[in-house]
Amino acid sequence: MDPRPFAGADKVNPSLLRPLERRFAPWILPKFPAWLETYHLTMLTLVWSAGIVVFSNAARGDRRWLWGASVMIALQWFTDHLDGKLGKFRGTGLERWGFYMDHMFDAVFIASIIVGYALLLPERALFDLLLVSAGSIVHTMLVVATTGIFRTTYLRMGPTEARVGIVVLNAYLVHAGFNGMAASLRIGAMIGFAGLALRIYATHRQLWQLERR
């Protein structure tokens, strides 16, 4: 039996840093060793996620360990950005497995960041961020199922820009400490909720007009 058409094939990602990423991939892909496969890069997200939790826990005693968490975030961007591209470059990609596992591990990665901050910051602030993150993931997957388009960027801000923001936040925390972060995270969560509500409303209108036609 032939499988159904793959709904996650069309990806929309017009982010601010996208032009730089597109130049980087063709340069680095030919340099990968032959034994390193696309699925190796995908699975490495588990290693980077574990590292984030370990370094964040260490930062409870010395907040300079957050630099280690930032390195894990940078490495996760590297492998996550290039895993599918390596498969396409060599013609060895696993499209359906890659889509499922890549984004399953993205959820693990997001969870590791939230767990890491939960070790350092008040629980209430992290609960709000968890709700925003979960809502965004559900919204994205529902858009894929209903439109066949996998949209990861809004207002030119996407996953790469989010990682950069977290690294900048970590640098701030290393410098200034954790006092006052609870209020800042609550404000960030409120902005996140507002953005998610706008995205849901826009998608609702798009699908409504499509169905009415």
| Structural domain includes residue 170 | yes
Q: What is the pLDDT of residue 125?
A: 62
| Structural domain includes residue 190 | yes
- Burial class of residue 79 (count of CB atoms within 10 Å of its CB; 0-12, 13-18, 19+): buried
| Structural domain includes residue 196 | yes
* Sites in the chain below the pLDDT cut of 50: 1-2
| Cβ neighbours, 10 Å, residue 4 | 6
Q: What is the pLDDT of residue 130?
A: 76
What is the tally of structural domains in the chain?
Answer: 1
What's the CATH code of the domain at 103? 1.20.120.1760
What letters, b where the CB count within 10 A reaches 16 and e where it falls short, cover 108-143?
ebbbbbbbbbbebbeeebbebbbebbebbeeebeeb
| Structural domain includes residue 175 | yes
Q: What is the pLDDT of residue 207?
A: 87
Could you read off the pLDDT of 40-51 as tens digits, one per residue? 999 999 999 999
This prediction has a pTM of 0.80
Could you read off the pLDDT of 184-213 as tens digits, one per residue? 677 777 888 888 888 888 888 888 888 887
- Domain that includes residue 76, residue range: 10-212
| Structural domain includes residue 21 | yes
Tell me, what DSSP letter sits at residue 150?
Answer: E
| Structural domain includes residue 2 | no
| Structural domain includes residue 3 | no
| Structural domain includes residue 1 | no
Give the end-to-end CA distance of the chain in Å, rounded to a whole number.
33
Q: What is the pLDDT of residue 1?
A: 45
